[in-house]
Amino acid sequence: MDVKIGLECHAQLLTRSKLFCSCSTDYHNAEPNTYVCATCLGLPGALPVVNKRAIRYAIKIALALGCEVQEETIFYRKNYYYPDLPRGFQITQYDFPIAFKGLVRIESNGGKEREIRITRVHMEEDPGRLAYKGTIDTSKYSLVDYNRSGMPLVEIVTEPDLKSPKEARIFLGKLRSILEYLDVFDGDLEGAMRVDANISIEGGNRAEVKNISSYKGVERALLFEITRQKNLLRRGLNVQLETRHYDEVRGVTLSMRTKEFEHDYRYFPEPDLVPICISDSVEAVKQEIPELPDEKRKRFLAQYSISPEHASSLIYDPHIADYYEDVASKIDPRLSATWIADVLKGELNYRSSSMREASKRISHDDFVTILRYLVQGVITERGVTAIIRAMLDKGGKPEEIIKIKGLASMGSEETEKIIYSVLKDNKGVIEDYKAGKKEALNFLVGQVMKHTRGRADPKEVSRLLRDTIETGF
């Protein structure tokens, strides 16, 4: 059965002030209800003034997604009441959004390229935030914080082109990457991206799961929906056209209400704002668009001759891409790719740390120094990993850590001594090896590594062991 998924992605823009007032957007560490004014609280008579930078950011996003930016854009009122929306309407867009018709390329299963069409890009204000003790189900009361009210959002709507929950997650990753390249979005901020996920299965209606705030959450909610909808269809029942809520804790979706339609909202043009001509700004905004992920990936492949997997991994986060280029300009680009994509990125994930934070602890020059020590044989691969971990955790300089932790590679004389003593103690194992039991060598390597405490290179040890056994000792 064919699965169709379309996403409505709401991204918070990194402007300094809100969309229609001068309140600060930097509310993530603020006390609730402190970054508010008459406008974003929706008090009667307060008037909105559009944030020009927010409009430019939205145009930038639309261009980067290959959309057709419109001549003119108009804000509309979407009327509904909810405690997080004290005005009784949200200022959003309708028939005259910023742009229509774009395209995002994703690498789906097995690196297969897929094109996901973008329906439209429009702007709107964020409502306030409701907080529950526990979950929306179990909480006896709701708390409301209007600091978020009026935050500038860009909504990016896709066609129902995604075919699986995994593709949805990959798409969101790609979108995040593009928005971060544009320097208009920070995916690390809590709630920076919220998604409404629409999903249908061949022969059934679609359900819309509202307001999912994590990438994993989108994938999980969609997986749950596939099972739920398939079960209904299998039993000959209808999938209701409805709006559902995702319970992050239990990993299930719950029915919230029957699907609302456009006429329910009584859209009409916002009379307190004039239509805005945007086509005039397009040329200037185009100049601000940097090299985007797809182009960077192509360039990395050509310029550094790295593997396609490494290229994809390195370009995802623009801070990592820049860091890589700084390192690769000073030492073997392929070696740099391996250590940054396979090791440094893993260590960052493990610590939930960002490259921006990490680069304060390991500058790219430090990283070059560490790799140089490896190439010169001063330290082993295990030494490199140990230094990276130590620097991420506590800072410091490579030389100090090599000294303090005793990471300097063993001289070959010292290593040979240990090899001899291990061979002496394991005559039986040598016989096994000679009799054709190849695993016996691994055991001996392990013994030697134990005695050198990782300060010897396992490949080198393996080679020395083989030579020594063959030539006799």
Does residue 8 sit in helix, strand or coil? Answer: strand
Distance of closest approach, residue 120 Cβ to ligand ADP, in angstroms: 8
Residue 159 interface partner, choices ligand ADP, Zn ion, none, CB cut-off 5-8 Å depending on type: ligand ADP
- Which range in 56-64, 156-164, 249-257, 462-470 contacts ligand ADP by CB under 6 A? 156-164
Residue 23 interface partner, choices Zn ion, ligand ADP, none, CB cut-off 5-8 Å depending on type: Zn ion
- Which range in 168-176, 194-202, 352-360, 444-452 contacts ligand ADP by CB under 6 A? 194-202
- Please list every residue from 347 through 376 that binds ligand ADP, using CB under 6 A: none
Distance of closest approach, residue 145 Cβ to ligand ADP, in angstroms: 26
Binding mask 5-44 for ligand ADP (x = CB under 6 A): xxxx------------------------------------
- Please list every residue from 21 through 50 that binds Zn ion, using CB under 5 A: 21, 23, 37, 39-40
Q: Give the C-alpha separation, 180 to 198, whole Å.
A: 25
Distance of closest approach, residue 126 Cβ to Zn ion, in angstroms: 12
Residue the block writes with tokens 């934070």? 357
Beta bridge partners of 399: none
Q: Whose CB is nearest to ligand ADP? A: 6
Longest dimension (CA), the chain: 95
Which residues contact residue 300 at a Cβ distance below 8 angstroms, ignoring those fewer than 6 apart?
306, 311, 314, 315, 321
Residue 160 interface partner, choices ligand ADP, Zn ion, none, CB cut-off 5-8 Å depending on type: ligand ADP
Residue 312, amino acid: S
Distance of closest approach, residue 404 Cβ to ligand ADP, in angstroms: 55
Q: Give the C-alpha separation, 214 to 235, whole Å.
A: 32
Chain centroid offset of residue 257 CA: 31
Q: Give the C-alpha separation, 390 to 383, whole Å.
A: 10
Residue 157 interface partner, choices ligand ADP, Zn ion, none, CB cut-off 5-8 Å depending on type: ligand ADP
CA 243, 245, 251, 252 torsion-angle sign: negative
- Please list every residue from 159 through 178 that binds ligand ADP, using CB under 6 A: 159-160
Contact between 199 and ligand ADP (CB under 6 A)? Answer: yes
- Judge residue 55's burial from the number of C-beta atoms within 10 Å of its C-beta, 0-12 exposed, 13-18 middle, 19 or more buried: buried
| Per-residue CA distances from 92 to 79, 128, 159, 407, 443 (Å) | 10, 15, 20, 59, 67
Contact between 198 and ligand ADP (CB under 6 A)? Answer: yes
Distance of closest approach, residue 156 Cβ to Zn ion, in angstroms: 25
Asked if 189 and 2 count as a contact pair (C-beta separation under 8 A), the reply is no
Of 50, 157, 410, 422, the one binding ligand ADP by CB under 6 A: 157
Distance of closest approach, residue 204 Cβ to ligand ADP, in angstroms: 9
Distance of closest approach, residue 149 Cβ to Zn ion, in angstroms: 8
22 versus 258: smaller Cβ distance to Zn ion: 22
17 versus 158: smaller Cβ distance to ligand ADP: 158
Asked if 125 and 95 count as a contact pair (C-beta separation under 8 A), the reply is no
Which residues contact residue 210 at a Cβ distance below 8 angstroms, ignoring those fewer than 6 apart?
196, 243, 244, 245, 246, 256
Contact between 229 and ligand ADP (CB under 6 A)? Answer: no
171 versus 339: smaller Cβ distance to ligand ADP: 171
Distance of closest approach, residue 4 Cβ to ligand ADP, in angstroms: 4
Distance of closest approach, residue 124 Cβ to ligand ADP, in angstroms: 13
Chain centroid offset of residue 74 CA: 31
Helix H segments across 27-149? 52-64
| Per-residue CA distances from 405 to 153, 341, 382, 399 (Å) | 49, 25, 12, 10
- Among candidate residues 316, 15, 8, the one with its CA nearest the CA of residue 185: 15
- Interface positions with ligand ADP (CB under 6 A): 4-8, 157-160, 198-200, 206, 208
- Interface positions with Zn ion (CB under 5 A): 21, 23, 37, 39-40
